[in-house]
Amino acid sequence: MREVVLEREPVELYKILKFEGLAEHGGAAKSIVAEGLVRVNGEVETRKRRKIVSGDTIECAGETLRMLGVGSTQNE
């Protein structure tokens, strides 16, 4: 599981996929979400602009990302 620190919250789902390298660009990220290939907190998510906050987990392309807020540590 990879941890991602959010500098600000909330962040739209497709932007996280793009910035974390799970999609080549924003359009590809939106397509991945629309096709139902992304899970947020264990459930399929098709809203590309879903607001992601610290504590959320995203699963896509065989990777799991855990969102952390600024100042969070992995032991919290």
Q: Which residues contact 9 (CB under 8 A, 6 or more apart)?
A: 52, 53, 54, 69
| Residue-level pLDDT at 74 | 52
How far from 26 is each of 11, 29, 42, 55, CA to CA, in Å?
Answer: 13, 5, 23, 23
* CATH code of residue 17: 3.10.290.10
pLDDT tens by residue, 10-67: 999 999 999 999 999 999 999 999 999 999 999 999 999 999 999 999 999 999 999 9
Residue 71, SS3? Answer: coil
Domain count, the chain: 1
pTM: 0.89
Q: What is the pLDDT of residue 76?
A: 47
The answer to whether residue 53 is domain-embedded is: yes
Q: Is residue 74 in some structural domain?
A: no
**In the prediction, which pLDDT does 31 show?**
97
In a domain, 76, yes or no: no
- Indicate the length of the chain as a whole number: 76
